[in-house]
Amino acid sequence: MRVLVTGGGGFLGLAIVRRLAARGDRVRSFSRSRHADLDALGVEQAQGDIGDPADVLRAAENCDIIFHVAAKAGFWGPYEEYYRTNVIGTENILSACRQRHIQKLVYTSSPSVVFDGRDHENVNESMPYASRFLAHYPATKAKAEQMVLAANGSDLATVALRPHLIWGPGDNHLMPRLIARAKAGKLRIIGDGKNRVDCIYIDNAADAHLLAADRLQIGSSIAGKAYFLSNGEPVIIWDFINRILDVAGAPRVTRRMPAGVAYMAGAVLETIHRILRLSGEPRMTRFVARQLATTHTFDLTAIQRDLGYSAKVTTEEGLQRLRDYFAAAYSP
């Protein structure tokens, strides 16, 4: 295939690019800047702004399929920035598909599009979108996902995957933040520490995207649908975080904060940051407080049935790979 991967230099995007290149697909990455890892793979790189329709249209030239992975992540910042990247950027991708006669689009979404602040245990795709969001990221991702699925039709087949908490070697977002906060003594167990969470190892997330691409056709059974995606091995999140800190050589988190206190602290800190226009993120937000204190597990029946998905790398094997990665990174 001739493939465009938006955000191809990011954690998940790069894993997808590597698999596509390894099997012989012609791959082009689209992002704001060049990435040395992509240069090493010999992958073509188109640079531009996902919020600029001309840049997106140019990047999509002569492609058969788009993996739209790029997004503004995080849980703090101006709404306009999230909207431009996650919503306008997705509109530009859909427009480019139509103008370039591209018939397949695999969209990377998020389970947070249905998160309403409560425990979600073994939920499936019948779960409705949240009616109220505690952060701009899930709000804009929900808008984008709905646009992608609504665009499915006789000239474009679309599918959305919702991977939860992607982790593994090369993570440049989640793990570095956890490790830095643990080393600074700023990490706290929120709530009773017993909440169970589904997460996914990076290789499994990338494999699922290729499975979706290979099965996606106009009128196919997966077209126009969204799928939850995880390892299928729920973990007690704070035990799992401590195991990651162990392999990274960071101190374990043992100090606790009641879930209600964390939520109120997030509300106060958000207000202070907003009024004083402080730079950086608050140490706690309402969304993070709810995420870290509640259960998030997902029924994978649909993705297993429709895509033939199964996690090839178990959580235990992933942790060993992560241990080897850190050992190599910090060896003399």
| Positions marked catalytic | 137
For residue 222, give both structure tokens.
């997966």
Produce one character per residue of 173-183: b if its CB has 16 or more CB atoms within 10 Å, e if not. ebbeebbebbe
With beta carbons less than 8 A apart as the criterion, state whether 282 and 264 touch.
Answer: no
Dump the DSSP string for 244-296: HHHHHT-PPP--EE-HHHHHHHHHHHHHHHHHHT-SS--S--HHHHHHHHS-E
Beta pairing, strands 26-31 & 44-47: parallel
With beta carbons less than 8 A apart as the criterion, state whether 197 and 234 touch.
Answer: yes
For residue 298, give both structure tokens.
């997902």
For residue 225, give both structure tokens.
């649908």
d(CA 293, CA 229): 21
How many CB atoms are closer than 10 A to CB 318? 22
Q: What is the DSSP letter of 65?
A: E
Q: Which residues pair with 332 in a beta bridge?
A: none
With beta carbons less than 8 A apart as the criterion, state whether 229 and 205 touch.
Answer: yes
Q: What is the DSSP letter of 16?
A: H
Taking CA 7 as the corner, what is the angle to CA 250 and CA 48, rounded to the nearest 5 degrees? 130
Whose tokens are 């050589």? That residue is 249
Dump the DSSP string for 104-123: EEEEE--GGGG--SS-EEEE
